[in-house]
C-alpha cells in the first residue's frame, strides 16, 4: 500500500530472495518501505524478511536509506526474526568475511 508521500506499507514478506525482483518489476523503491506488517509466523509470510533486512542495512551503510524500518508483528514472529533472520545474516558475514551489518 502506498501513501501520499510515496512510501509503502509492506504486508507479509514471503517469496524469499525473489521478493527483491518483485519490487523491481513493480517499480517500487525499497528505500521507500519503512513499515512492514507480518501477519503470522508461516514461512510463506516471513521468508523475504532476510533479504529485505539485508537490503535495508546495506542501503543504510551507503546512506541511501533514511529513517528506520518498523516491523509490526506478534511477539512470536518478532522472536523468529531476531533469532533466525539475524543468525542467518551473521553466518553469511562469517562465510564471506565482510561486515554486512553494523547494528548487531
pLDDT value of residue 15: 75
96: pLDDT strictly greater than 70:
no
pLDDT tens-digit map of 85-94: 666 656 544 4
pTM higher than 0.75: no
Helix/strand/coil percentages in the chain, nearest 5: 50, 10, 40
Average pLDDT value for residue range 71-99: 66
Instruction: Look up residue 18 and give its three cell numbers.
Output: 525473489
Per-residue pLDDT, 37: 87
Task: Dihedral sign for Cα 103, 18, 92, 75, please.
Answer: positive
**pLDDT category, 25, cuts 50, 70, 90?**
very high
Amino acid at each position: 500500500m502506498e501513501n501520499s508521500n510515496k512510501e509503502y506499507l509492506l504486508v507479509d514478506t514471503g517469496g524469499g530472495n525473489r521478493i527483491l525482483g518483485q519490487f523491481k518489476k513493480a517499480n517500487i523503491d525499497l528505500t521507500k518501505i519503512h513499515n512492514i506488517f507480518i501477519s503470522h509466523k508461516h514461512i510463506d509470510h516471513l521468508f523475504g524478511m532476510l533479504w529485505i533486512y539485508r537490503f535495508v542495512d546495506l542501503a543504510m551503510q551507503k546512506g541511501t536509506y533514511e529513517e528506520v524500518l518498523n516491523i509490526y508483528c506478534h511477539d512470536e514472529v518478532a522472536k523468529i526474526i531476531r533469532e533466525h533472520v539475524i543468525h542467518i545474516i551473521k553466518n553469511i558475514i562469517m562465510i564471506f568475511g565482510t561486515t554486512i551489518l553494523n547494528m548487531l
